[in-house]
Amino acid sequence: MKTSHVTSTAITPESIAEAGAIAPGPVAEYALGLGDDALVLAQRLGEWIAHAPELEEDVALGNIALDQLGHARSLLTYAGSAWGKTEDDLAYFRGEAEFRNRQLFEQPDGDFAVTIARQLVASVYFVSLYTALAGSADPTLAAIAAKAVKEVEYHLDHSAQWLLRLGRGTEVSHERMQRGLETIWPFVGELYSADPHAEGLDGIAVDPRTLMTRFDDVVPRLIADASLEVPSVPFARGGGRDGRHSESMGPLLAEMQVLARAHPGAKW
């Protein structure tokens, strides 16, 4: 197994390739799921550009999307090294059932409150995940996570501030934020369920089930501070890591992949 000598501050898809890091097969399968989570969320957040409620938020959501895209590029580059595939091969030339992202990340933007609810849940998860993964025995995964955690901490602060602003705002904003939480809540359970591709990777991968304690410590408190209530709704079935997705995934991929599929091999 080759190991990478890139540092967390220098980690990029290019630096991973230059270091000659080749992911072992099981590690590649694990990294693929993480990369898909970040890629699909980046695509969703990018849909807000020029549609956010204020100009500053166009920039903020665009920057968060770019951060997520950066995480996806590094993870997919590392995953693809096991199979001789590039990040673009994995992003643009797989079908829906081949994507491993958890279903939360593909959920439609809805109104702004739905997006904030999705981003809050996603950010708490990513902070816990990357904090733990920064201690991975796989040096490339550890470097990717160490860089990413600094960015997702900002993402969490951004969504928490909006949760507070909307929850304690007008009667309308309060009601919409509560509905946003209820819309997203069914997909929380899958985030913290077992990852089949993490099995057998003790010391390398992170078991999502170990991260639920932080969620329970952080999210209910943030919701209460915003004068909102933790939803009481059943969790959805899930299955994203096994290629099972909601009906919104197909249209998302069609939009994301159309140009690359129409002009395969083209460069700009």
Q: Look up the domain containing 224 and give its range.
A: 13-229+244-262
In CATH, what number is assigned to the domain containing residue 171? 1.20.1260.10
How far apart, in whole angstroms, are the C-alpha atoms of residue 2 and residue 34?
21
Length of the chain: 268
Strands (E) located in 56-192: none
94 domain-assigned? yes
Q: What is the 3-state secondary structure (H, E, C) of 98-123?
A: HCCCCHHHHCCCCCHHHHHHHHHHHH
6 domain-assigned? no
Q: Hey, how many other C-beta atoms are within 10 angstroms of the C-beta on 20?
A: 11
The pLDDT profile of the chain, 268 residues, written as one tens digit per residue, is 344 445 555 678 877 866 778 999 999 999 999 999 999 999 999 999 998 888 889 999 999 999 999 999 999 999 999 999 999 999 999 999 999 999 999 999 999 999 999 999 999 999 999 999 999 999 999 999 999 999 999 999 999 999 999 999 999 999 999 999 999 999 999 999 999 999 999 999 999 999 999 999 999 999 999 999 999 999 999 999 999 999 999 999 999 999 999 999 887 7
pLDDT of residue 234: 93
- Global confidence as pTM: 0.93
How far apart, in whole angstroms, are the C-alpha atoms of residue 215 and residue 79?
28
Q: Going by C-beta distance under 8 Å and a sequence separation of 6 or more, which residues neighbour residue 256?
A: 43, 91, 92
143 domain-assigned? yes
210 domain-assigned? yes
Exposure letters 91-127 (e unless 16+ CB within 10 A, then b) = bbebeeeebbbbbbbbbeebebbbbbbbbbbbbbbbb
235 domain-assigned? no
pLDDT of residue 79: 98
H helix or E strand, kind and range, residue 189: helix 188-191
2 domain-assigned? no
40 domain-assigned? yes
124 domain-assigned? yes
Contact 259, 210 (CB under 8 A): no
- Please tell me the total count of domains within the chain: 1
Specify the amino acid at residue 80: G
How far apart, in whole angstroms, are the C-alpha atoms of residue 117 and residue 178?
9
pLDDT of residue 11: 78
Exposure letters 237-260 (e unless 16+ CB within 10 A, then b) = ebebbeeebbeebeebbeebbeee
Token pair, residue 145, equals 């996570």
Cα Rg of the chain, angstroms? 18
Residue 138's Cβ-count burial label (10 Å; 0-12, 13-18, 19+) is buried
